[in-house]
Amino acid sequence: MLSCILMIPHHAPSPDSEHQVLPFRRGKPGPRLRPPPVDDLAEYTRSREPDDYRHRMMVNAAAFLFVLGLIGAGLWIAESMAELRHKEDCVLSGRTNCMPIAVDKGRF
């Protein structure tokens, strides 16, 4: 009963039974003819027109600036959230003077 739970083999393996060769069966010989996934690839080929390098670089620059703007906005949001969390922790811990207020002494 204990050997079933622990999965202990009933006999010791011999050196010859340690390795086993499995037969590999091949399919039917010959090429497999499948229909192409697309009927005509001509619609996906590039045209013979020259590439507008300047337009492509302008689009790349605009995309780069857009990505930089997204990164900047993400960093600004993360910094604002960290600052708010810091102020909230200060107030909730019962401290005073968590946010110093600038007072113009000449005004009073």
DSSP 41: G
- Altogether, the residues listed in the chain come to a count of 108
Q: What is the pTM of this model?
A: 0.48
56-63 mean pLDDT = 96
The residues, any chain, with a CB within 8 Å of residue 2's CB and separated by 6 or more, are 8
Query: What does pLDDT average to over the chain?
Result: 80
40-47 mean pLDDT = 75
Cβ(72)–Cβ(84) below 8 Å? no
16-44 mean pLDDT = 73
Where does residue 41 rank: exposed (0-12), middle (13-18), buried (19+ CB within 10 A)?
Answer: exposed
